């Protein structure tokens, strides 16, 4: 049985991680309005679904690496997405 997380706990967790809970919620609503869920967005952007879900739930700090890139691409935080060169 799957239950939704307590909204207060999610908000507190997001603030501790340096993410704005309102921004997180707004982005989740925007994705739904566009017909996407976290798994579909992850697939289209070549990320793991669980990783994207952890970012959108505020469970991760998103300070560096893939989590940072996901948060920036989703518009959850300001920053620069590293550009990778596939020309080798």
| 22-76 pLDDT tens trace | 888 899 899 999 998 899 999 999 999 999 999 998 887 888 889 999 999 999 8
| pTM of the complete model | 0.72
Tally the residues of the chain. Answer: 88
**In Å, how far are 66, 83, 84 from 87, measured between CA atoms?**
20, 12, 9
Distance of alpha carbon 18 from the chain centroid? 13
HEC profile of 2-67: CCCCCHHHHHHHHHHCCCCHHHHHHHHHHHHHCCCCHHHHHHHCCCCHHHHHHHHHCCCCCCCHHH
């Amino acid at each position: 049985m799957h239950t939704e997380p307590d909204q207060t706990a999610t908000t507190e967790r997001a603030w501790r991680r340096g993410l704005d809970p309102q921004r997180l919620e707004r982005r989740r609503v925007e994705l739904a309005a566009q017909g996407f869920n976290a798994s579909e967005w992850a697939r289209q952007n070549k990320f793991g679904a669980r990783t994207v879900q952890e970012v959108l739930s505020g469970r991760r700090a998103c300070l560096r690496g893939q989590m940072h890139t996901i948060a920036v691409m989703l518009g959850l935080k300001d920053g620069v997405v590293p550009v990778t060169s596939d020309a080798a």
